[in-house]
A and B are shown apart, each in its own frame.
Chain A
Amino acid sequence: MKAAYQTPPSCADHNDMSFEQCFQYILSGVTNGSIYAIVAIGFNIIYNTTGIINFAQGEFLMLGGMTAVSFASIMPLPLAIILSVAVVSIVGVLIDMIFIRRMKKPSILNMIIVTIGLSIMIREVALHVWDEKVRSLPYFTGNEVTSINILGAYISPQVLWVLGVCGVIVLFLGLFFKFTLTGRSMRACAANITAARLCGINTRNMVTISFMLSAAIGALAGCVISPITQTQYDSGAPLAIKGFTVAILGGLGNSTGAVVGGIVIGLLEAFSISVMPLAYKDAIAIAVLLVILFVRPRGLLGKREEAGLKEF
């Protein structure tokens, strides 16, 4: 990345921002951005196969973190994480089987309302199962005070885990969709669901698998960020909103776009602190969302025909 080795002009004129400070912001931006990207990819997977935007996506991250914390008190950390990913995947499958399959008249309005309802239900159930307290997983390596120095910027080792896990997820999904039969079947559904059915692909199962996959990557992401951001019963909703913004920014359904969009939003938020009060940081993502929707709804990398709405 060019910016890391040449001090960009903008860095130099604001309050004499040093290179270290600039790099610190970049790291922070990329970290948050990769989490948003994972949420956006979760949206994309379900959207591609079904045309539904799953407003409950953020809740998968929250559930992942919460279940992992509960498991971690009775078993070693890696096992707890694997188990929580499994449990949340099952939740994703159940959501599809119990709610989505039952939809008799799946108009866009109905689907939006159902997933919003699901998001609220999951949140409230989590509140009553786990209560309102904040919890977090232990750090994967190191603890709350370890700090690694990279080119003058200091980060917690957990940040490297976040970047690593997100990178692996993106890589895995890329390979999955390109080389496995299931992955290719899902892409077929995304392209044209009727044609896929005619080819003998069981589209109903593809839908279920897409929910399972979204839930799994959401849970994993939720576990890896839990030590640094802490998990609470309502930590799902803000992530979901930022995730939508990133998904739309990158082009709905486009995973490379999600990654690019995530990094853009992450960096925007991180650098915003040097030019405006911190209080408005969260409004940036929303403002970007509105601008994109008004000006170019297909996003940065979306193609025009993909911006049309898909059939369920």
Chain B
Amino acid sequence: MSLKKFFAIFACLTFLIVSLSCKKQEEKTLKIGAIFSVTGGASFLGAPELKTAQMLVDEINSKGGLNGVKLELIAKDSSGSPEKAISFAKQLIEENKVFAIIGPSTSGETMKIKSICEDAKTILISCAAAEAIVNPVAKYVFKTPQKDSYAAMKIFEVMKKKGITRIGVVASNDGFGLAGKGQLEKIAPLYGVKILIGEVYDKKSTDLTGVLTKLKARKVQAVVNWSIVPAQSIVAKNMRQLNMKEPLFQSHGFGNIKYVKEAGKAAEGIIFPCGRLLIADSLPDNNPQKKVLMKYKKDYESKYGEEASTFGGHAYDAVIILAEAVKKAGTDREKAREAIESINGLAGTGGVFNFSDQDHNGLDLDSFAMLTVKNGKFVQYEDK
């Protein structure tokens, strides 16, 4: 290969790369970066989160922006892979010079970019649930989903009232399922519950009759499933088909009416903890979250034609927290960060947020309500 040809090729490439990377001058806006898993295995999280974020940013801009400055949302699709999240985080921070980053959707990705954002003094409001994101606390890193441990505690509270002491736990092999299973195992003894069998299945499993048969043979009094779609509906259907009459508890990953439709009649009677978005209409009017929830539901459903889910709500909360901070303290990063920590009583979709310098999640046990499925709809769970 002669030198001329080689240089020709390399010159073209360099030109291509540089020209594709050049950007034109933009007007002054407040740049917010977003990294979501819109495609890939976590798309049920990333897709509604992206839609919600875009919807909210458009709404804020149509009202004149924050403190008169319009927002610009720069969103990237990481497909759930950490190396892309790292690459995008660096890109957003160094090239686009974003003020803050919302997301990522999964815990694995968040943990990889936690130190990058902390070093770069860029606010990161994650939509992922792992405790490790805010514990140990990093000054610039926050998260909006509720703690898994609270979900587990809520489930055990109900079990205690029902007198259930022997259960079986099945969880999917992704970060969410494993974290939940870990919490269940840790907290069960505190409520006098013994986990007879705890099994992990591949999140793409299509048939769980095997493990459920095992649980049935051990005569557990209840089954807890910690996973996301599609396994949630499959567990429900398999249990009924195996003629298992024990109650089925699910995680807060069950938060979308579509999963109920998927499971059909098998979904009746499932008990699970969840943010109040799904029962927004039946909340009493003086509930602090009702207004926010009803508005989010209405806006999302009318704009996108699909039901709102609690996952999109995590992005909603992230944006309103940022908006609140900017309104209070302007665009200085250190001041905005402190403003977030001083937020109290902010009603979001996940709950009512009360941050502090030690608590970068802001939600407590009460952010969860216990829901159940009755006649194909979500209703608040009443223990009789």
Spell out A's residues near B (CB within 8 Å): 15, 17-18, 21, 24-25, 28, 31-32, 127, 131-136, 143-147, 149, 154-156, 225, 228-230, 232, 234-235, 238, 269-270, 273-274, 277-279, 281-282
Judged by a CB distance under 8 angstroms, whether B379 is at the interface is no
Is B320's beta carbon under 8 Å from chain A?
no
Assuming A25-B210, A132-B47, A144-B264, is B243 touching A279 (CB within 8 A)? Answer: no
**A278 vs B169: C-alpha distance in the bound complex, in angstroms?**
12
Residues of B within 8 A of A21 (CB): 213-214, 217
Which listed residue, A15, A28, A144, A146, touches B207 by the CB 8 Å rule?
A: A28
- Contact present for B200 and A278 (CB under 8 Å): yes
Of the listed stretches B94-102, B141-149, B234-242, B367-375, chain A binds B234-242
User: How distant is the Cα of A25 from the Cα of B241 in the complex, in angstroms?
Assistant: 14
A-contacting residues of B (Cβ < 8 Å)? 39, 43-44, 47, 170, 173, 199-202, 204-207, 209-211, 213-214, 217, 229-230, 233-234, 236-237, 240-243, 258, 262-266
Which residues on the A side are within 8 Å of B237 (C-beta)? 144-145, 156, 228
CB pair B230–A279 under 8 Å, yes or no, is: no
| B217 and A154 within 8 A (CB) | no
Give every chain B residue within 8 A of A143 (Cβ-Cβ). 264-265
What chain B residues lie within 8 Å of A238 (beta carbons)? 204
For B39, B173, B209, B266, which residue has the most chain A Cβ atoms within 10 angstroms?
A: B209
Contact partner, B217, options A18, A136, A269, Cβ 8 Å: A18
Contacts of B230 in A (CB 8 A): 134, 230, 232
B210: A residues at CB distance < 8 A: 25, 28, 269-270, 273, 278, 281
A156 touches B241 (CB 8 A): yes
Chain B nearest CB: distance from A131 CB in Å? Answer: 8
**In the complex, are the beta carbons of A145 and B240 less than 8 A apart?**
yes
Contact assessment for A147 and B241 in the assembled complex, using a CB-CB cutoff below 8 Å:
yes
Chain A residue nearest to B236 (CB atoms) is A144
Contacting pair A145 B202 (CB below 8 A)? no
Q: Is A144 within 8 A of B263, CB to CB? A: yes
In the complex, chain B residues whose CB is within 8 Å of the CB of A229: 206-207, 234
Q: Which of A25, A127, A145, A279 contacts B265 (CB 8 A)?
A: A145
**Chain B residues whose C-beta falls within 8 Å of the C-beta of A28 in the assembled complex:** 207, 209-210, 213
23 cross-chain CB contacts under 8 A: A18-B217, A21-B213, A25-B213, A28-B209, A31-B207, A32-B207, A132-B44, A132-B47, A134-B229, A144-B264, A145-B264, A147-B243, A149-B243, A156-B237, A229-B234, A230-B234, A235-B204, A270-B210, A278-B170, A278-B211, A279-B173, A279-B201, A281-B210
CB–CB B266/A228 < 8 A: no
Report the bound CA distance from A279 to B204 in whole Å.
Answer: 11
Q: A25-B210, A32-B207, A279-B200 are in contact. Are A145 and B173 (CB under 8 A)?
A: no
A156 to B241, CA, bound (A): 5
8 smallest CB-CB distances across A and B, nearest first, come from: A229-B206, A144-B264, A132-B43, A156-B241, A145-B240, A144-B266, A278-B199, A154-B243
How many Å from the CB of A141 to the closest CB on chain B?
Answer: 13
Give the chain B neighbours of A235 by CB distance below 8 A: 204, 206
Please report the C-alpha to C-alpha distance between residue A235 and residue B236 in the assembled complex, in whole angstroms: 19
CB <8 Å contact, B213 and A24: yes
B217 cross-chain contacts in A, Cβ below 8 A: 15, 17-18, 21
Which residues of B have CB within 8 Å of A127?
Answer: 39
- Indicate the member of B43, B206, B217 with the most A CB atoms within 10 Å: B206
Contact check: which of B201, B236, B262 meets A136 at CB < 8 Å?
Answer: B262
Query: What residue of chain B has the Cβ atom nearest to residue A230's Cβ?
Result: B230
- How far is B216's CA from A154's CA once the two chains are assembled, in angstroms? 12
Complex contacts, B264 vs chain A, CB 8 Å:
143-145
- Kindly report which residue of chain A lies nearest to residue B256, judged by CB atoms: A133
Determine the residue in chain B with the shortest Cβ distance to A229.
Answer: B206
Contact present for A281 and B242 (CB under 8 Å): no
**Could you say which residues of chain A place their CB within 8 Å of the CB of B234?**
228-230
Is B209 touching A277 in the complex (CB atoms < 8 A)? Answer: no
Residues of A within 8 A of B202 (CB): 279, 281-282
Q: Tell me if A132 and B39 are in contact (CB < 8 A).
A: yes
13 additional A-B pairs beyond A134-B233, A156-B237, beta carbons within 8 Å, are: A25-B213, A28-B209, A133-B44, A133-B258, A144-B241, A144-B263, A147-B242, A154-B241, A225-B206, A229-B206, A273-B214, A278-B170, A278-B210
* Least CB separation from A232: chain B residue: B230
Name which residue of chain A comes closest to B239, CB basis.
A145
Query: In the complex, which residues of chain A have a beta carbon less than 8 angstroms from the beta carbon of B242?
Result: 24, 147, 154
B213 and A144 within 8 A (CB): no
Give B217 Cβ to nearest chain A Cβ, in Å.
Answer: 5
User: Min CB distance, B204 to chain A, in Å?
Assistant: 6
Please give, as numbers and ranges, the residues of chain A lying within 8 Å of B258 by CB-CB distance. 133
Q: How far is the CA of A15 from the CA of B207 in the complex (A)?
A: 22
What B residues does A147 contact at CB under 8 A? 240-243
Residue of B nearest to A15 (CB): B217
Tell me the bound Cα distance from A273 to B199 in angstroms: 10
Q: Which residues does chain B contribute within 8 Å of A136, judged by CB atoms?
A: 262
By beta carbon, the residue of chain A nearest B217 is: A21
From residue B241, how far is it (CB to closest CB) to chain A in Å? 4
B367 → A minimal CB distance (Å):
27
CB-based nearest A residue for B216:
A21
> Contacts A132-B47, A144-B266 given: A278-B201 contact, CB under 8 Å?
yes
Whether A230 lies near B241 (C-beta < 8 A) is: no
Which residue from chain B places its CB closest to the CB of A159 in the assembled complex?
Answer: B241
Which residue of chain A has the shortest Cβ distance to B178 in the bound complex?
A279
For the complex formed, measure the closest distance between the CB of B288 and the CB atoms of chain A, giving whole angstroms. 32
Give CA–CA (A234, B217) in the complex, Å: 33
Residues of B within 8 A of A281 (CB): 201-202, 205, 210
Task: State A146–B201 Cα separation when bound (angstroms).
Answer: 25
Residues of A within 8 A of B240 (CB): 144-145, 147
Distance between Cα atoms of A18 and B170 in the complex (Å): 22
A15 to B240, CA, bound (A): 24
